[in-house]
């Protein structure tokens, strides 16, 4: 019985290391992928909102930019109710009114926060952590 427990603990430890390594590698990739402008968080309060809806919103920002941009979206669905929780980075949109886009996201999704990207604040790694979670997923979009 004790040996089974030791094996389970060892397996759990290996799995945790694999997740940490994947998160670190993914975070470094995301950080270096583009010259990011905004970091944002969207948490739905209106029930189930699809990944497709979040991607469409990022595409609308890209269209407003007037040229191709990069974006990365990490989403996870909560265990209770399946509410979308996501983080994104988007490049080449610093000339747009970030506060106006945050208001649009709040109206559409609820509970949205946008910030100017600062590579020293770890947003790329936070996105990687969200995407590498048990219920997470990372998608890369953009034509830049």
Domain boundaries, the chain: 2-142
Helix (H) and strand (E) counts for the chain?
4, 5
pLDDT score recorded for residue 66: 95
pLDDT score recorded for residue 136: 78
Backbone angles phi, psi at 90, to 5 degrees: -140, 140
pLDDT score recorded for residue 138: 87
pLDDT score recorded for residue 18: 74
Top-tier CATH class for 2-142: alpha beta
**Which stretches in the chain have pLDDT values below 50?**
none
Residues 28-67 as b/e (b if ≥16 CB within 10 A, e otherwise) read: eebbebbebbbbbbbbbeeeebeeeebbebbeebbeebee
Q: How far apart are CA 140 and CA 32, in angstroms?
A: 13
């Amino acid at each position: 019985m004790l040996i089974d427990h030791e094996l389970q603990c060892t397996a759990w430890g290996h799995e945790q290391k694999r997740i940490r390594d994947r998160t670190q590698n993914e975070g470094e990739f995301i950080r270096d992928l583009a010259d990011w402008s905004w970091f944002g968080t969207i948490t739905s309060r209106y029930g189930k909102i699809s990944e497709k809806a979040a991607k469409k919103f990022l595409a609308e920002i890209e269209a407003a930019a007037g040229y191709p941009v990069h974006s990365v979206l990490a989403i996870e669905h909560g265990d209770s109710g399946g509410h979308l929780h996501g983080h994104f980075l988007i490049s080449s949109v610093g000339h747009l009114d970030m506060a106006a886009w945050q208001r649009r996201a709040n109206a559409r999704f609820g509970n949205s926060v946008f910030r100017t990207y600062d590579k020293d604040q770890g947003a790329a790694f936070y996105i990687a952590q969200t995407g590498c979670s048990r219920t997470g997923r990372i998608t890369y979009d953009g034509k830049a």
